[in-house]
Each structure stands twice: as structure tokens, then as C-alpha cells.
């Protein structure tokens, strides 16, 4: 599965993933299927990366991308999460 690329063995290596892949992956963790990612769901996603997000706390990530402060990452904010991931984790989003 393509998403295996999403788990770099060592930190600092660039991982290419498309925005669509990223969104699709994140949606898998949308347990209550409301189309938004809450803290619990984000935590699950972080756990699933097996270390990719390990240096960051779910709360911190949520706070930095949750523009309207409703406690959820919605469709628009997912794009911000992607930018955040690019900066913090060396992820590279390809079109
Ligand atoms: Ca949800
Ligand atoms: Ca929000």
C-alpha cells in the first residue's frame, strides 16, 4: 500500500504524499463519520503513523491547525494540517 511510504524509518527523510492520499488516510480515523477530526481521532492517527508524529502532541497540533477553535479539524483545516506536517515532519505534499 502506498501509505507505507508515509512512515519514514529515520527522521528528516522526505516523504512524498499527495493531498488526496493524505486526506483519504486521515478520513479513515474519522470514527464518528462527521467529516471532521477530533482530538481522539487525531490521537489515533498519530498512533497509527508509528512515530511519524511522535515528537508532537495531538493537542498542540490541533491547536495550531484549528483556525475556528471548535476543537475539530474540518476539511479546510486538513490543508493546514498538511502544511504543518510539511514544516514539522519533512513530509512533502505532491500534487
Ligand atoms: Ca470525527
Ligand atoms: Ca476547526
**Which ligand is closest in space to the CA of residue 78?**
2
93: closest CA among 9, 19, 5?
A: 19
Distance 72 CA to ligand 1 centre (A): 8
Distance 41 CA to ligand 1 centre (A): 7
**Which ligand is closest in space to the CA of residue 35?**
1
- The pLDDT profile of the chain, 95 residues, written as one tens digit per residue, is 445 555 544 455 567 888 898 899 899 999 999 999 999 999 888 888 765 555 568 888 999 999 999 999 999 999 899 888 888 777 788 87
pTM reported for the whole predicted model: 0.75
**Which ligand is closest in space to the CA of residue 74?**
2
Amino acid at each position: 500500500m502506498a501509505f507505507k511510504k508515509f512512515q519514514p524509518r529515520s527522521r528528516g527523510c522526505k516523504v512524498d504524499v499527495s493531498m488526496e492520499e493524505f486526506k483519504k488516510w486521515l478520513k479513515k480515523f474519522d470514527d464518528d463519520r462527521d467529516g471532521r477530526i477530533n482530538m481522539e481521532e487525531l490521537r489515533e492517527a498519530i498512533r497509527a503513523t508509528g512515530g511519524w508524529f511522535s515528537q508532537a502532541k495531538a493537542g498542540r497540533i490541533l491547536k495550531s491547525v484549528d483556525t475556528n477553535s471548535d476543537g475539530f479539524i474540518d476539511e479546510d483545516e486538513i490543508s493546514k494540517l498538511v502544511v504543518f506536517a510539511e514544516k514539522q515532519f519533512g513530509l512533502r505534499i505532491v500534487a
